[in-house]
């Protein structure tokens, strides 16, 4: 269950938050990055990335520009964490970007049963990979991944890999599951390989 402040702690919570935000926006409405940030809190690096990462991994993430927007949010937030900020600021042109509430709700409702199954596999382990020092390294890896997204977006399906890596890092931070952090590092290596072989070679 989410904390009293609404911060999600697993994928099922994230799906539920997306459905709730979509319903509040109403039919034909939209959910903005700013609304997502306000929902999870401006000190919540992991939950913010987790919600945005889930969006990026769904069909909504296939909309042109969404992976790049996701990468921009990751880069800005990770960069602030790296310089020691604990409250994250996003520029207005980012917070005002949005996705359709109807589409978002449909995707979240379909994802919720799968999310519940994944949540059963999560537990605190290898927690040193998710502590303050571990979070700093994760933020650096996420910043690198964010820079790959604009390039990999033009390669069919390639943007899925860095988005998956960032989502694994985010879920690892939220659930204090170092095993997922390791998965994130492995996916980061794959993303960098794709960048070099698909874009620069």
pLDDT digits (tens, 9 = 90+) for 6-58: 566 678 888 888 888 899 888 788 988 888 888 777 667 888 888 888 888 87
Picking from 33-47, 98-112, 163-177, which range would have the lowest pLDDT averaged per residue?
A: 33-47
As a whole number, mean pLDDT of residues 147-166 equals 90
**Under 8 Å between Cβ of 75 and 186:** no
Query: Does residue 4 register a pLDDT over 60?
Result: no
Instruction: Tell me the percentage of the chain whose pLDDT exceeds 70.
Output: 95
What per-residue confidence (pLDDT) applies to 12? Answer: 82
What per-residue confidence (pLDDT) applies to 125? Answer: 94
Write the DSSP assignment of 68-136 as a string of letters: HHHHHHHHHHHHHHHTT-SS----HHHHT-EEEHHHHHHHHHHHHHHHHHHHTT---BSGGGGSHHHHH
What per-residue confidence (pLDDT) applies to 137? Answer: 94
| 147 compared with 99, residue with greater pLDDT | 147
Coil, strand or helix: which one is 1? coil
Share the mean pLDDT of the chain: 85
φ and ψ of 44, to 5 deg:
-105, 85
As a whole number, mean pLDDT of residues 55-68 equals 81
> Which two structure tokens, joined as six digits, stand for 112?
């919720």
What per-residue confidence (pLDDT) applies to 1? Answer: 47
d(CA 175, CA 172): 5
What per-residue confidence (pLDDT) applies to 145? Answer: 95
Query: Does residue 138 register a pLDDT over 70?
Result: yes
Contacts of 175 (CB under 8 A, 6+ apart): 9, 10, 122, 123, 124
Residues in the chain: 201
**Under 8 Å between Cβ of 126 and 182:** yes
What per-residue confidence (pLDDT) applies to 43? Answer: 67
Query: Does residue 191 register a pLDDT over 90?
Result: yes
As a whole number, mean pLDDT of residues 51-71 equals 82
């Amino acid at each position: 269950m989410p904390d009293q402040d609404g911060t999600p702690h697993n994928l099922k919570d994230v799906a539920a938050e997306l459905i709730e935000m979509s319903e509040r926006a109403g039919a034909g409405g939209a959910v903005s990055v700013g609304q997502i940030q306000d929902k999870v809190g401006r000190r919540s690096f992991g939950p913010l990335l987790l919600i945005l990462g889930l969006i990026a991994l769904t069909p909504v993430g296939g909309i042109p520009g969404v992976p790049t927007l996701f990468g921009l949010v990751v880069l800005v937030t990770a960069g602030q964490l790296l310089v020691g900020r604990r409250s994250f600021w996003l520029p207005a042109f980012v917070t005002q970007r949005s996705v359709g509430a109807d589409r978002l709700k449909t995707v979240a409702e379909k994802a919720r049963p799968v999310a519940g199954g994944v949540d059963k596999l999560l537990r605190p382990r290898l927690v040193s990979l998710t502590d303050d020092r571990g979070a700093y390294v994760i933020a650096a890896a996420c910043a690198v991944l964010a820079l790959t997204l604009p390039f990999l977006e033009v390669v069919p399906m390639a943007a899925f890999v860095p988005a998956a890596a960032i989502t694994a890092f985010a879920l690892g931070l939220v659930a204090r599951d170092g095993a997922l952090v390791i998965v994130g590092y492995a996916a980061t290596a794959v993303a960098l390989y794709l960048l070099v072989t698909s874009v620069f070679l």
